[in-house]
Amino acid sequence: MLVTLRQETYEIHNVDALMTPALLIYPEIVDANIRATLKMAGGDPNRWRPHIKTAKMSTVLRRYLAHGVKNFKCSTTLELSVACSVGAADVLLAFPVMGANARAAREIGDCFPGTRVSVLVESLDQARVWRGTGIGMFIDVNSGMNRTGIDQQALAEIVELARKIGRQFRGVHYYDGHIAGLPSAELERRAHEGYDRLLQIVKALEANAVRVEEVITSGTPASPFALTYPRFRNAAFLHRISPGTVVFNDRNSLEQLPGFGYQPAALVLATVISRPAAHWITCDAGHKSVSADAGVPTCAVIGHADWIPGKPSEEHLPIQIPPDAKVALGEKLYLLPQHVCPTVNNFDEAVLIANGQIQGITSVTARGHQSTAAAAGIAV
């Protein structure tokens, strides 16, 4: 897939107008990626609750809405606020929040009564924070990833928690993000085994007269296998997948989901600033621009499959090239991140590109976190 990506697809005619590094967004490709995901989901926008940690922009969230995707998932109160402000119908804050963070989430819910807001809980102490509010609650179940959630074997504890939550109980959240990096058949087998265990939980809840409205599974790697799981079809509950990376895509997602028609819709534009040796160049896209959380190489250079990005420093990205490669200082490079979600979070704004032209600038509205001072009512 990466070998077939052509620089001509992404080139900007008036590229010298831009300072670098710059985050580039291609809205027409964003739309194509949304359509590809809806096709995977059988054409039903209601089966998809995308995580907006990737999009992070009101501009992009409105494109979701234009395609009929109205239900979202997020990780921060700032993302929650942005999703509510663009008119999302339903938003799950899929990250445990307590103390001041919980108070901020409640205030956001109060400010946007037209949006149904829910949170994750895994204990009665967490559930008490939301009791008597308009906030819904999903029980977060540990799928085996061991990041958050209640032990999936603790059926009696899960049932008791759901019963004590009462009318605010909405369903079960089961993020199987560790289902990745294996051949497709093995991934599907492991994912389906996990969903078998998940449905044991649902069965236990229903046997105790607890209605399960919704079951949420699957980030990007596991999504196709959730959609092939037969017991999610025609279930009494609504099942939704929650991939977010697919709206932009990166090296990881393109390798994980070949054959679905996904294309990169977000790149980082960089400038060659040095050629310190015959087989090395350096550009201005260090790890403060292209996230290094997924390891090295942090990215691929579009149109140059044989160029190998090395270990970045804060502002510098060295790239190994063939010694006979003709590269001029000041030349622009189009970089495909290994992991696009935290890369987007590195930028305050993004440049919108269509037909090789700069169409405008948009703010990365959900970058970072909500202002502590604002949430606390402190003047600065």
Give 354's strand partners: 357
Q: What is the pLDDT of residue 378?
A: 59
pTM score? 0.96
Q: What is the pLDDT of residue 379?
A: 52
- The CATH code of domain 2-23+260-363 reads 2.40.37.20
Question: How many other C-beta atoms are found inside a 10 Å radius of the C-beta of residue 380?
Answer: 6
Radius of gyration, CA atoms only, the chain: 22
Residue pair 148/96 in contact (Cβ under 8 Å)? The answer is yes
Name every residue whose Cβ is closer than 8 Å to that of residue 152 and which is 6 or more positions away in sequence: 141, 142, 143, 144, 174, 197, 198, 201
- pLDDT by residue, tens only, the chain of 380 residues: 555 688 999 999 999 999 999 999 999 999 999 999 999 999 999 999 999 999 999 999 999 999 999 999 999 999 999 999 999 999 999 999 999 999 999 999 999 999 999 999 999 999 999 999 999 999 999 999 999 999 999 999 999 999 999 999 999 999 999 988 888 999 999 999 999 999 999 999 999 999 999 999 999 999 999 999 999 999 999 999 999 999 999 999 999 999 999 999 999 999 999 999 999 999 999 999 999 999 999 999 999 999 999 999 999 999 999 999 999 999 999 999 999 999 999 999 999 999 999 999 999 999 999 987 566 665 54
Peptide bond just before 21 cis, omega within 30 deg = yes
Peptide bond just before 309 cis, omega within 30 deg = no
What is the full DSSP assignment across 82-102? HHHHTT-SEEEE-S---THHH
**Fold match, 2-23+260-363 / 27-247:** no
Question: Is 27-247 a CATH 3.30.40.10 domain?
Answer: no
For the stretch 199-223, pLDDT in tens is 999 999 999 999 999 999 999 999 9
Q: Where are the domains of the chain?
A: 2-23+260-363, 27-247
How far apart, in Å, are the Cα atoms of 200 and each of 238, 242, 247, 259, 309?
Answer: 16, 21, 32, 32, 46
Nearest Cα residue to 42 out of 233, 218, 236, 258: 233
Q: What is the pLDDT of residue 373?
A: 59
Give the separation between CA 237 and CA 118, rounded to whole angstroms: 17
Strand 22-25 with 349-354, pairing:
parallel
How far apart, in Å, are the Cα atoms of 10 and each of 18, 145, 247, 336?
Answer: 14, 37, 16, 11
